[in-house]
């Protein structure tokens, strides 16, 4: 089941990348990043059967980082929304020259 | 190579198809709430895949942490900012953006497919073939993950607590409402 797992992981990661590149809603882009992290987790779990338990331990760390990232990122989104009243990335162009 | 029963294979493919279809539906929804719900379906299907890949504890963590905690934060924020209406959100980018996104996705799939065919020696085990199953029978589903976590990765585990502390402090600081005169 290694090849199937890696293929599924690749497809899910690509869907996440396509979502990040095509959507403009900041919250949906964040959820696409979560999807990409999950695709990587699937790779870790599938390979942990071949290379030992370390893969599953890495998944625990990735989940922790994802939780921290979601908390900080959503706080940033709330902060931006207070200033701009929108989460549309077209309107958040303060750094554009 | 291990041989898997037809029952196992059928459900492995079934949950894989569910995950892909739900993920595709997720990136194409306009409403953020519907997108979040479809992402939860993907996460549940992935939890089933983890359990079928001898990672029962990770599967339970997936349901509890991802579907239970992280996605609830997302839904809370959508609710808090009142973004549930589909008309309020931005539509997808224009034709060029869609083409670029689709092309990048296809290139990634092709690249990862080639890599998984050539880069990884298929069926080559660095550990014994039933290593993970043996660990789970000996130490239990939680103990099999906890032993390497606390023995080999204890420093990383401690650093994780620092990361969480920083994240909590940062989230509180960023989410704090400023004084009206300052803003």
**Rounded Cα distance, B150 and A21, in Å:** 39
Residue A36 contacts B where some CB pair is shorter than 8 Å: no
- Mean pLDDT along residues B123-140: 79
ipTM given for this complex? 0.91
pLDDT at B91 > cutoff 80: no
Q: Write down the pTM of the prediction.
A: 0.87
Please say whether the dihedral angle defined by the alpha carbons of residues A7, A9, A15 and A17, taken in this order, is positive or negative.
negative
pLDDT at B115 > cutoff 60: yes
pLDDT tens for residues A13-63?
Answer: 999 998 988 888 888 999 999 999 999 999 999 988 888 888 999 999 999
Give the pLDDT of residue B121. Answer: 60
Q: Which of residues 92-151 of B touch A (CB under 8 A)?
A: 92-93, 97-98, 100-102, 104-106, 108-109, 112-113, 116, 120, 122-127, 131-132, 135, 144-145, 147-149
pLDDT at B84 > cutoff 80: no
Give the pLDDT of residue A94. Answer: 74
Residues 6+ apart with CB under 8 A from B56: B50, B136, B141
pLDDT band at B183 (very low <50, low <70, confident <90, very high): very low
- Tell me the nearest-neighbour CA distance from A32 into chain B, angstroms: 8
State phi, psi for A53 to the nearest 5 degrees: -75, -10
Confirm if A49 and A18 have CB atoms less than 8 A apart.
no
Residue B11 contacts A where some CB pair is shorter than 8 Å: no
Residues 6+ apart with CB under 8 A from B127: A50, A51, A52
Task: List beta partners, residue A88.
Answer: A25
Please report residues of B whose CB lies closer than 8 A to that of A38. 42-43, 46, 62, 66
pLDDT band at B31 (very low <50, low <70, confident <90, very high): confident
Residues 6+ apart with CB under 8 A from A97: none
Percentage of chain B modeled with pLDDT above 90 = 38
């Amino acid at each position: 089941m290694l090849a199937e797992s890696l293929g599924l992981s690749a497809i899910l990661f690509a869907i996440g990348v396509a979502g990040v590149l095509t959507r403009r809603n900041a919250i949906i882009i964040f959820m696409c990043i979560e999807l990409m992290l999950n695709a990587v987790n699937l790779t870790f779990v599938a390979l942990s059967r071949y290379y030992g338990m370390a893969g599953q331990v890495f998944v625990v760390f990735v989940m922790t980082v994802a939780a921290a990232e979601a908390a900080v990122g959503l706080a940033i989104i709330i902060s931006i929304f207070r200033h701009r009243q929108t989460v549309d990335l077209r309107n958040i162009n303060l750094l554009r020259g | 190579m291990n041989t898997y029963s037809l029952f196992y294979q059928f459900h492995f493919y079934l949950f894989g198809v569910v995950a892909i279809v739900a993920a595709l539906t997720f990136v194409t929804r306009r409403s953020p709430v519907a997108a979040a719900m479809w992402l939860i379906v993907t996460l549940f299907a992935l939890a089933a895949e983890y359990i079928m890949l001898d990672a029962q504890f990770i599967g339970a963590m997936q349901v509890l942490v991802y579907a239970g905690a992280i996605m609830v934060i997302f839904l809370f924020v959508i609710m808090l900012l009142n973004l549930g209406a589909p008309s309020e959100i931005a539509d997808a980018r224009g034709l060029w953006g869609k083409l670029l996104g689709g092309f990048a996705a296809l290139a990634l799939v092709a690249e990862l497919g080639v890599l998984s065919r050539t880069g990884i020696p298929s069926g080559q085990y660095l550990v014994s073939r039933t290593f993970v199953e043996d660990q789970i029978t000996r130490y239990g589903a939680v103990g099999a993950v906890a032993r390497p976590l606390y023995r080999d990765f204890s420093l990383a585990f401690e650093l994780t607590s620092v990361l969480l502390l920083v994240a909590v402090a940062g989230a509180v600081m960023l989410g704090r409402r400023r004084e009206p005169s300052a803003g």
